[in-house]
Amino acid sequence: MIIKFKSDQAGEFIMMGDVALPLLHMMGGSGNTEGAVSGELLEEALQKLEAALQQTASSTNETTDGAEDERDEEEKQPKVGVSTRALPLLEMLRKAKAADGYVMWQPD
Protein backbone atom coordinates (compact mmCIF):
# COMPACT_ATOMS: atom_id res chain seq x y z
CA MET A 1 0.00 0.00 0.00
CA ILE A 2 1.14 3.54 -0.73
CA ILE A 3 0.22 6.54 1.43
CA LYS A 4 0.14 10.02 -0.13
CA PHE A 5 0.83 13.03 2.09
CA LYS A 6 -0.54 16.45 1.08
CA SER A 7 -0.34 20.01 2.36
CA ASP A 8 -0.79 23.41 0.76
CA GLN A 9 2.42 24.48 2.46
CA ALA A 10 4.65 21.74 1.00
CA GLY A 11 4.80 19.49 -2.02
CA GLU A 12 3.04 16.14 -2.03
CA PHE A 13 5.00 12.96 -1.46
CA ILE A 14 4.29 9.26 -1.13
CA MET A 15 5.55 6.59 1.25
CA MET A 16 5.13 2.89 1.37
CA GLY A 17 2.60 1.88 4.00
CA ASP A 18 5.11 -0.17 5.99
CA VAL A 19 7.09 3.04 6.57
CA ALA A 20 4.22 5.54 6.80
CA LEU A 21 2.01 3.67 9.28
CA PRO A 22 4.64 3.46 12.06
CA LEU A 23 5.37 7.18 11.58
CA LEU A 24 1.65 7.96 11.84
CA HIS A 25 1.51 5.92 15.07
CA MET A 26 4.49 7.90 16.39
CA MET A 27 2.52 11.08 15.68
CA GLY A 28 -0.24 9.77 17.93
CA GLY A 29 -2.45 8.56 15.10
CA SER A 30 -4.89 5.71 15.40
CA GLY A 31 -3.37 3.75 12.55
CA ASN A 32 -5.90 4.84 9.96
CA THR A 33 -4.53 5.14 6.45
CA GLU A 34 -6.54 8.31 5.93
CA GLY A 35 -6.54 11.38 8.13
CA ALA A 36 -5.40 14.94 8.71
CA VAL A 37 -3.93 17.20 11.38
CA SER A 38 -4.13 20.97 11.77
CA GLY A 39 -3.95 23.64 14.45
CA GLU A 40 -2.99 22.41 17.92
CA LEU A 41 -3.14 18.79 16.77
CA LEU A 42 -0.50 19.57 14.14
CA GLU A 43 1.89 20.94 16.74
CA GLU A 44 1.19 17.99 19.04
CA ALA A 45 1.75 15.48 16.22
CA LEU A 46 5.07 17.11 15.33
CA GLN A 47 6.25 17.04 18.94
CA LYS A 48 5.25 13.41 19.39
CA LEU A 49 6.97 12.36 16.16
CA GLU A 50 10.18 14.21 17.03
CA ALA A 51 10.22 12.70 20.54
CA ALA A 52 9.57 9.18 19.25
CA LEU A 53 12.33 9.51 16.64
CA GLN A 54 14.79 10.73 19.29
CA GLN A 55 13.88 7.82 21.52
CA THR A 56 14.25 5.38 18.63
CA ALA A 57 17.63 6.83 17.69
CA SER A 58 18.94 6.65 21.25
CA SER A 59 17.73 3.08 21.78
CA THR A 60 19.03 1.76 18.45
CA ASN A 61 22.39 0.10 18.80
CA GLU A 62 23.81 -0.85 15.44
CA THR A 63 26.62 -3.23 16.31
CA THR A 64 27.95 -6.09 14.27
CA ASP A 65 28.73 -9.50 15.68
CA GLY A 66 31.43 -10.57 13.25
CA ALA A 67 28.97 -12.39 11.00
CA GLU A 68 29.17 -9.52 8.51
CA ASP A 69 31.64 -11.38 6.29
CA GLU A 70 29.12 -14.18 5.78
CA ARG A 71 26.38 -11.91 4.41
CA ASP A 72 25.88 -11.52 0.69
CA GLU A 73 26.29 -8.20 -1.13
CA GLU A 74 22.62 -7.22 -0.87
CA GLU A 75 22.61 -7.58 2.89
CA LYS A 76 25.79 -5.50 3.17
CA GLN A 77 24.02 -2.44 1.76
CA PRO A 78 23.41 0.20 4.44
CA LYS A 79 19.93 0.22 5.93
CA VAL A 80 17.92 3.44 5.76
CA GLY A 81 16.89 4.38 9.29
CA VAL A 82 13.43 5.49 10.36
CA SER A 83 14.76 8.98 11.18
CA THR A 84 15.94 9.38 7.59
CA ARG A 85 12.68 8.07 6.19
CA ALA A 86 10.74 10.50 8.40
CA LEU A 87 12.47 13.62 7.02
CA PRO A 88 9.88 14.47 4.32
CA LEU A 89 7.04 14.14 6.84
CA LEU A 90 8.88 16.19 9.47
CA GLU A 91 9.57 18.94 6.94
CA MET A 92 5.93 18.98 5.82
CA LEU A 93 4.70 19.15 9.41
CA ARG A 94 7.09 22.00 10.21
CA LYS A 95 6.08 24.02 7.14
CA ALA A 96 2.38 23.47 7.83
CA LYS A 97 2.83 24.49 11.47
CA ALA A 98 4.70 27.68 10.50
CA ALA A 99 1.91 28.66 8.09
CA ASP A 100 -0.94 27.55 10.38
CA GLY A 101 -1.85 24.99 7.73
CA TYR A 102 -2.63 21.29 7.66
CA VAL A 103 -1.23 17.91 6.66
CA MET A 104 -3.44 15.17 5.32
CA TRP A 105 -2.79 11.62 4.14
CA GLN A 106 -4.67 8.94 2.27
CA PRO A 107 -4.02 5.72 0.38
CA ASP A 108 -2.92 6.23 -3.20
Give the pLDDT of the chain (108 residues) as one tens digit per residue. 999 999 999 989 999 999 999 999 999 988 788 999 999 999 999 999 999 999 988 876 544 444 455 556 667 777 888 899 999 999 999 999 999 999 999 998
- pLDDT of 99 reads 96
| Average pLDDT value for the chain | 87
**What pLDDT was estimated at residue 30?**
82
Task: State the pTM of this model.
Answer: 0.80
Cα distances from 21 to residues 28, 36, 62, in angstroms, run 11, 14, 23
C-beta separation of 92 from 15 below 8 A: no
| Per-residue pLDDT, 32 | 83
Residues 6+ apart with CB under 8 A from 39: 100
Using CB atoms within 10 Å of the CB of residue 71, give its burial: 0 to 12 exposed, 13 to 18 middle, 19+ buried: exposed
- Contact predicate 9/104, CB 8 Å: no
3-class DSSP assignment, residue 108 = coil
Strand order in the sheet with 2-7: 10-16, 2-7, 102-107, 35-38
Q: Contact at 8 Å (CB) between 32 and 45?
A: no
